[in-house]
A and B are shown apart, each in its own frame.
Chain A
Amino acid sequence: MEILYQNLSNIELQHVIMWVIGGILIYLAIAKEMEPTLLLPMGFGAILVNLPIAEADSGVQAVIDFLFKIGIDSHELFPLLLFVGIGAMIDFEPLLTNPKLMLFGAAAQFGIFFTLLMASFFFPELKDAASIAIIGAADGPTSIFVAGQLQSNYIGAIMVAAYSYMALVPLVQPPIIKLCTTKKERLIRMPYKGKKVSKLTKILFPIVVTVIVALVAPDAVALIGFLMFGNLIRECGVLNSLSDTAQNVLANLITIFLGITIAARMKAEDFLQWQTLLIMGLGLVAFIVDTFGGIMLAKIMNLFSKEKINPMIGAAGISAFPMSARVVHKLGLEEDSSNFLLMHSIGVNVSGQIASVIAGGLILALVKGILGM
């Protein structure tokens, strides 16, 4: 009876607030189906690590801390393994048939660097500003990897912002796309020339990209290496069962533990700070500027190109695979029910996946160079 009273008396307002936040994440995951694979474990984890009993050596905290230590803190094992699964899921064919789509993926990383500039106003430590900026990669594993490598103090809030906005892409992007484009631009048709890509090209692509990125941005080699390894398993044609395992079993298994592990950094004392709200705001800025960057490049290219590009596809360079491509395709259909932009937007979307990893590697190299890490 005394223990019961002790536990009840340990409950503080900040715990209750974190339970509510956990509850909201679970609600969004179940009722709104927003990134349920991550928001649900994160929501439950947020409740779990903020139970007063958990603080009193119940073992729960120790296990979650251990998962964090081996899965994120030591060598970012979880995000890297997840990238094997993501690589196995991605079909680069739309990109290989029209490689210039990669430029949109590059342009849509502008949000990362713009947010870095904004974050440096509010966060005195460059490593924190850079970790917050990488929310703009719109790619959970890259955000975890960079924030983990830079040992940011705000990794919990960064993860929540990154995954929340990825889930909110269908709500965040359409108004920005409509604001940045005219109706005439949105009606531009882009016939898909489905050129056949040889199997050898598909096999060589992941190997070549890994080598190129490793030479220019060595800090991104782990991310791009694991992503492309997964893709090589998919494309080689002789490891179908491994490809299937990577896409389903491995990705699901890691996702379960990743969500609950991130919750290790959602303890009330770390999470309930004014900086968390600021990080959420900066994350939104990153996504908006990413979208803007991709669209603007398409508009600029249209000034010089005979074959006009529908600027909406530039918005898919935000990574957030495959939601962003679907959003663009849906918007295209809303304007003209016979305008199919899916293959183009998928091509831009997968290029955004590669570009976000390159951006992460460059941020790491540049920030570590400045800080002497």
Chain B
Amino acid sequence: MHEFIMNIGRAVINFFCSIDTANLTDAVSIMGIGMLGIFIVTGVIILTVLLLNKLFSR
């Protein structure tokens, strides 16, 4: 039983040691830029629709 728990512990430690931090940093930066980008594009589209509605409303 003790050996079994030790093996699980080792597997968990190995997993965390194997995490590629460079990948993680990239993912965080993509997350930040991506969400910001979506909101910027969305904002521009909203403004454009408001403008179109104002210009061509009957």
Contact = CB atoms under 8 A, between A and B. Distances in A.
B34 A121 contact: no
Interface bracket on B: 20 to 34
Interface of B: 19-20, 23-24, 26-31, 33-35, 37-42, 44-46, 48-50, 52-53, 56-58
A121 B24 contact: yes
Contacts, number: 112
Contact of B48 (A120, A121, A208, A362): A208
A217 B52 contact: no
Interface of B (DSSP majority class): helix
A106 B34 CA distance: 10
Given A103-B46, A106-B42, A213-B41, A366 B33 contact: yes
Interface bracket on A: 35 or more
Given A129-B27, A217-B41, A359 B20 contact: no
Contacts of A253: none
Contact of A120 (B24, B35, B38, B44): B24
A96 B50 CA distance: 8
Given A99-B46, A102-B42, A370-B26, A113 B35 contact: yes
A302 B3 CA distance: 54
Contact of A117 (B24, B37, B40): B24
Contact of A197 (B27, B39, B46, B53): B53
Nearest first, the 10 closest Cβ-Cβ pairs linking A and B are A113-B31, A99-B49, A120-B27, A106-B42, A198-B56, A201-B52, A200-B56, A99-B46, A120-B23, A106-B38
Nearest to A359: B38
Nearest to B49: A99
B45 A209 contact: yes
Contacts of B35: 109-110, 113
A106 B36 CA distance: 10
Contact of B34 (A113, A201, A370): A113
B58 A196 contact: yes
